[in-house]
Structure 1
Amino acid sequence: MIRLLLLLVWPLTLLADQTITLGSGISMPPYVIADKDRGIVVDVFRAALAEENIQVVLRYGDNDKVLQAFMDKSVDAVFVGKAEQFPAAYFSALPLIVFHNQAITLRADNYTIDTVEALQPYRLGAFRLATKLMPEPYPEVAAAITDYREYTLQVEQVQDLFRRERQVLVMDRTIFRYFLSQLRRQNPASELYRQEQQYHDIFARSQYYAVFHSEMLRDSFDRGFQKIRDNGRYERILTVYQALLSDYLFR
């Protein structure tokens, strides 16, 4: 998963030069590629607010630090999947992105995982704060797993599956494919990362919304987001990343 998803932070509010700060998780490519200061979510968020003449600065960090930074008002916006996390904040009208968390295994293991409860016997690796961000019954199931780990760096999560230190991963399928493509390119002669995977579709898709302290800023985002959906910019951003990801996986 969501990997929700999300630091070095310092206060920045909506100033005369119309610059705001977005807090984001550091390990969610291709949605957020921190070392390149871009990604699907970053590009969409910036494009939407650019329509309203507002610039965006990113502040990256662990999911828990990002959420705390928003509560402390050290950042102006974040993107989250649970409205109850910030009942007093202002949420975008449409989801900024949709994550597709799945249970991922190696096909050779031939595991049958058709419910969330079926995860309990396995050595499970999930993204940071999964027990807080994933819907029920996942938190209860995870609490009962003897060997359970949450990863800040999701590339390590993927490595541990192929090294068989984890039997099952819980993460967004697109994020998994991104890190797998990286590992294949870094290790072109290795058969380790050529093992086939199996995806178990046991979670509902997670809609993540842009969240703001300011109602005015939220309204600006909603207007800009609708504009880039109408003018085709939104679809062009998605197409660029999907083409890039597919190219990497076939190398």
Structure 2
Amino acid sequence: MQQLLYLGMICVAFMAAPAKAQQLQLLVGVEKPPYIKMATQTGYELELLSAVVKRMGFDSQFIHVPNGRLFTLFQDGQADLVSLQRSTPQGFFATQSYISYQNILIVRKDLHKELLSLSDLIGLRVMAFQNARQFLPPDYVEATTKTASYLEVVDQHQLPALLLKNRVDVLVMDRNIFLHYYRQTAPNDDSLKILNFFQVNHYHMLARTPEVAERFNQALAEVKQSELFSQLQLKYFAELNQ
């Protein structure tokens, strides 16, 4: 009955076309430039989601929580949509993939050993993004049990500086997040190198009804065909990847 009432409210919102747009609440992650900048409510992910929700006929209200709590809060009844999901638990409905992350290893070029596989992490000091072991493959998880030290952190902005100062041997981060902070920390530096050992991870939203998921998909497809989408790509990624 509760789901039927929720669906009815969403359908009325879609059909009524009120003078002022209704709000959709979205559970999203915390500070993570260039994807999420909480102070200004900007960043690639927030601006993309805002554009999609606007195309759906709604205004966006973002609720920021650590990635590890996103689904738990959604399962408890908070918000209309939840971001950064890779599975589709029973009772919820997945959208099409809306964003992808490319995790990488970053090391100093003068590291004393060459990394040819994830097993070569053994004996090194490693720092990674929060919940890395949850998202990365089993051979990575196995290797981290044999490192000299291993730490996962929420706030990643200091990681490039720690690597440059040789206080850690290996960073594990999303490519664009790393490049954003690296170029802020040491704009002209070329002493670090990127190693690609991981597949790209694609993420979808979860909705509470199939109708909302389908409406999101339609709006996402329209946004991806628009000039706005190209502008967002250029704004947040073109300079990083030069």
TM-score by length of 1: 0.80
Match of 1:68 among 68, 72, 84: 72
Deviation at 1:203, TM superposition (A): 0.6
Q: Deviation digits for residues 164-209 of structure 1, max 9, x if unmatched? A: 2210011111100111222247xxxxxxx83521111111111111
Match of 1:235 among 230, 233, 236: 230
Say if 2:103 is the partner of 1:101.
yes
Distance in 1, matches of 2:147 and 2:104, equals: 17
**Tell me, which stretches of 5 or more residues in structure 2 are unaligned?**
1-8, 14-20
Distance in 2, matches of 1:135 and 1:77, equals: 27
| Percent of aligned positions that are identical | 19
The corresponding residue for 1:79 is: 83
The corresponding residue for 1:131 is: 133
Match of 1:27 among 21, 25, 31: 31
Say if 2:185 is the partner of 1:183.
yes
Amino acid at match of 2:208: H
Cα distance change of structure 1 residues 70 and 157 upon mapping to structure 2, 3 Å threshold: farther
Amino acid at match of 2:78: S
Deviation at 1:87, TM superposition (A): 4.4
Q: Deviation digits for residues 199-229 of structure 1, max 9, x if unmatched? A: 1111111111122223222111101011112
Q: Which one has a bigger Cα radius of gyration? A: 2
Deviation at 1:22, TM superposition (A): 1.8
Structure 1 residue matching 2:71: 3-state secondary structure: helix
Cα distance change of structure 1 residues 194 and 231 upon mapping to structure 2, 3 Å threshold: closer
* 8 Å Cα contact 1:123-1:168 kept in structure 2: yes
Q: Mean Cα displacement is larger for which, 154-163 or 196-205?
A: 154-163
Cα distance change of structure 1 residues 113 and 75 upon mapping to structure 2, 3 Å threshold: farther
TM-score by length of 2: 0.83
Match of 1:145 among 147, 158, 171: 147
The corresponding residue for 2:213 is: 218
Q: Mean Cα displacement is larger for which, 33-42 or 134-143?
A: 134-143
Cα distance change of structure 1 residues 226 and 97 upon mapping to structure 2, 3 Å threshold: same
Distance in 1, matches of 2:235 and 2:121, equals: 34
Moved over 6 A (4+): none
**Tell me, which stretches of 5 or more residues in structure 1 are unaligned?**
1-12, 186-192
Count of residue correspondences: 226
The corresponding residue for 1:91 is: 94
